[in-house]
């Protein structure tokens, strides 16, 4: 098990190396790199099922190396004639996949900045007093949404409760919208979560929009599919495109569900006119002069000026593998989930029925009956369930045989979370992991 002492020893390897000879410095750096590799969690292992990112696609890694070696700023055509075109082509490829055939998009270094950009666009479109503006944020939304609202100067940030199914509580949402309307405030933005971080659940987009229609309000509708974007490459892609056609923007993190190297995120918008900042585009002091093709002056669409070749990684992956490869990859992850669900069923209660690549469950103590829902247990029983699952997780951490998460939700007992989107995960490895978990469970029986 990793300790603070291990980390300190690794970092101290480079203390004072500037005084050594060149060969000695390189030797010390070599030892430091090897130590860092040994300490950092191994994302290449199919038994590492803890994170929303997995081992990177080798073609994407190569693309990342190439773009970093070239070290060009992807903000104008003049500075980066190839990488800017790769990004535009990649956006044009993605738009029909998500149901925005007439839209536009821009790549960002992660979902946090993409979400910030979506809130900024909502504020720009609303053109109302920020003191009277409201953003509703569901309790299972990513924390970057609330941060983005604060950065943009929104004073009224209101949390919407999450139901026991891990999605927006529609009755609470209706109550809040009614109050906002009665208080003469302006609801300018709402983010529907497509694939929540903890449970992998999907908000009911159509039913949420019905509530807004009921009160005759039209906030900017953002789909946070940073994690759940794999659905656009699944067998249910047509249904997902239908939902996103009802929205204004969507974020997808390809370093999560398609295993592009970190970081590779895109913000797509349905209305192509909203992305370009015309003030900056026509500023005589800006780098976007009339001699350049505005289509490839990407920073006039972005919150950033200096930009890396985020899209190039995905672009080269698509060129090498083709779309069908990624569709097959997503289907493999669903099969992983199905296999886990089949084998991990005895003495187990799932927090929610798995919808995506998250498996969240409680082991139920042997002396208890496995009931329909966690709320069917008494307070004393819930406390025992909590203690058992925390003990199991602590043992998993200590053994370091697999990596999974422990989490909680709506003040319910701690549960185990497994993320199944690892390309090297096989049925045999799944069987090995499940057998290991049951062995620990039985040791606490």
Return the structure tokens found at 77.
């055509």
> By C-alpha distance, which of 177, 219, 175, 224 is closest to 201?
224
Range 294-308 average pLDDT: 89
pLDDT of residue 293: 75
58-320 is classed CATH 3.40.50.150: no
Return the structure tokens found at 102.
């007439």
CB count within 10 Å of CB 320 equals: 14
Any idea where the domains of the chain sit in the sequence? 58-320, 321-441
Are domains 58-320 and 321-441 of this chain identical in fold? no
CB 51 within 8 A of CB 42: no
- Residue 241 CA to chain centroid, in angstroms? 18
pLDDT of residue 282: 55
Using CA atoms, how far residue 410 sits from 404, 405, 414, in Å, is 20, 17, 10
Range 33-54 average pLDDT: 93
Fold of 321-441: 3.90.1150
Residue 289 sits at the vertex; the CA angle it makes with 286 and 295, to the nearest 5 degrees, is 105
Phi-psi region of 259 (alpha: psi -120 to 50; beta: other; left: phi over 0): left
| Residue 50: pLDDT over 90 | yes
Cα–Cα distance, 83 to 351 (Å, whole number): 44
DSSP-assigned letter for residue 204: -
| Residue 286: pLDDT over 70 | no
Buried b (16+ CB within 10 A) or exposed e, 155-189: ebbeebbbbeebbbbbebbbebbeebeeeebbbbb
pLDDT of residue 299: 86
Q: What percent of the chain has pLDDT over 70?
A: 96
Query: Strand 249-253 relative to strand 265-269: parallel, antiparallel, unpaired?
Result: antiparallel
Q: Is 326 exposed, middle or buried (0-12, 13-18, 19+ CB in 10 A)?
A: buried
Cα–Cα distance, 119 to 60 (Å, whole number): 29
pLDDT of residue 294: 77
Q: pLDDT per residue over 158-199, tens digit each?
A: 999 999 899 999 999 999 999 999 999 999 999 999 999 999
- Residue 156 CA to chain centroid, in angstroms? 25
Per-residue pLDDT band at 283 (split at 50, 70, 90): low
Q: What percent of the chain has pLDDT over 90?
A: 81
Element (H, E) at 84: helix 81-98
Return the axis-axis angle of helices 81-98 and 237-244, rounded to nearest 10°.
100
| Residue 107: pLDDT over 80 | yes
Element (H, E) at 289: none
Cα–Cα distance, 252 to 266 (Å, whole number): 5
Task: Give the position of tokens 């790549």.
Answer: 107
Element (H, E) at 374: none
Q: pLDDT per residue over 249-278, tens digit each?
A: 999 999 999 999 999 999 999 999 999 876
Cα–Cα distance, 444 to 317 (Å, whole number): 46
Strand runs (DSSP E) across 122-205, as ranges? 133-138, 156-160, 186-193
Output the average pLDDT for the chain.
92
Using CA atoms, how far residue 155 sits from 146, 168, 265, in Å, is 11, 22, 28
């Amino acid at each position: 098990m990793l300790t603070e002492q291990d980390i300190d020893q690794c970092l101290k390897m480079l203390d004072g190396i500037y005084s050594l000879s060149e060969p000695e410095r390189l030797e010390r750096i070599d030892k430091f790199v090897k130590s860092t590799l040994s300490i950092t969690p191994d994302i290449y292992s199919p038994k590492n099922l803890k994170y929303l990112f997995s081992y990177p696609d080798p073609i994407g890694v190569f693309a990342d190396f190439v773009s970093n070696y070239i070290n060009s700023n992807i903000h104008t055509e003049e500075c980066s004639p190839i990488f800017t075109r790769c990004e535009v082509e990649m956006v044009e490829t993605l738009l029909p996949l998500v149901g925005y055939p007439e839209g536009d998009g821009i790549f960002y270094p992660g979902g946090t900045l993409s979400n910030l950009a979506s809130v900024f666009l909502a504020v720009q479109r609303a053109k109302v007093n920020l003191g009277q503006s409201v953003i509703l944020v569901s309790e299972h939304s990513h924390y970057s949404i609330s941060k983005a609202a604060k950065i943009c100067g929104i004073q009224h940030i209101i949390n919407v409760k999450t139901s026991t199914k891990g999605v927006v509580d529609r009755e609470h949402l209706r109550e809040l919208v009614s109050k906002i309307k009665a208080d003469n405030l302006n609801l300018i933005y709402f983010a529907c979560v497509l694939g929540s971080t903890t449970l992998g659940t999907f908000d009911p987009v159509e039913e949420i929009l019905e509530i807004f229609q009921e009160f005759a309000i039209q906030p900017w509708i953002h789909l946070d599919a940073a994690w759940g974007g794999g659905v656009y490459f699944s067998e249910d892609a047509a249904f997902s495109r239908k939902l996103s056609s009802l929205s204004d923007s969507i974020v997808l993190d390809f370093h999560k569900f398609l295993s592009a190297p970190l970081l590779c995120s895109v913000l797509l918008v349905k209305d192509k006119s909203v992305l370009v900042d015309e003030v900056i585009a026509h500023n005589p002091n800006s780098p976007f002069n009339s001699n350049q093709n505005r289509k490839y002056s990407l920073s006039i669409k972005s919150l950033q000026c200096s930009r890396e070749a985020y899209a190039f990684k995905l672009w080269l992956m698509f060129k090498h593998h083709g779309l069908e490869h990624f569709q097959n990859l997503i289907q493999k992850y669903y099969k992983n989930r199905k296999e886990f669900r089949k084998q991990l069923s005895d003495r187990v209660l799932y927090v929610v029925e798995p919808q995506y690549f998250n498996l969240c469950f409680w082991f139920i103590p042997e002396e208890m009956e496995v009931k329909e829902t966690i709320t069917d247990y008494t307070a004393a029983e819930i406390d025992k369930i909590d203690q058992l699952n925390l003990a199991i997780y602590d043992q998993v951490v200590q053994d370091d045989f697999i990596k999974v998460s422990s989490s909680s939700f709506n003040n319910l007992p701690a549960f185990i979370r497994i993320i199944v989107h690892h390309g090297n995960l096989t049925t045999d490895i799944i069987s090995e992991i499940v057998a290991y978990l049951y062995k620990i469970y039985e040791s606490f029986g």
